[in-house]
Amino acid sequence: MEQAFLETSYIVQTESPVVLKIGEIPTQLFQNFPEIKTWAFITAWNPLPDVFSRDQNDFRNNQLKFLLKEEGFIFYPGVGISKNEDWFEDSFFIENIEFEKANEIAYKFGQLAFLYGNILKGNQLIFTQNI
């Protein structure tokens, strides 16, 4: 499972799409978002071990979108695509979010893991913790 996360492309769907990869320093992200210091890439799709229908996943992602708006985050649509492109998950790229808050949101939506990054360490795979 960890290998699948590591091989996924996390695409921020903006005017100039940005592809994030675990373990990389995202220089293109810094060019497109010079004010960014931290970020997260989170979905509400398919909380393991469940696999939901497209309609169920869209409903869950709409709940996540509502929460992000309510909390006042700046965020963009995104999509995580597997290495061989046989699956994808609609997601959200969230600007300047603290680690604890990103973990809390991922946990709330039943996610095993999420991408978290900062300007010093780049993109990291984080396994969600119940804190």
Over the chain (131 residues), what is each successive 10-residue block's mean pLDDT? Answer: 90 96 96 96 93 97 98 98 95 98 98 97 96 67
C-alpha angle 65/105/61, rounded to 5°?
Answer: 30
Q: Note the pLDDT of residue 131.
A: 67
Report the candidate in 95, 60, 68, 82 with the shortest Cα–Cα distance to residue 10: 82
26 three-state secondary structure: coil
Where are any strands of DSSP class E within the chain?
9-12, 18-20, 38-42, 75-81, 88-95, 113-118, 122-127
Beta bridge partners of 39: 95, 117
Record the tokens describing residue 16, joined without a space. Answer: 């100039």
**Are the C-beta atoms of 42 and 95 separated by less than 8 Å?**
no
Between CA 10 and CA 126 the distance in angstroms is 14
Query: What does the pLDDT read at residue 49?
Result: 84
- Classify residue 112 by its DSSP letter: S
Give the global pTM.
Answer: 0.95
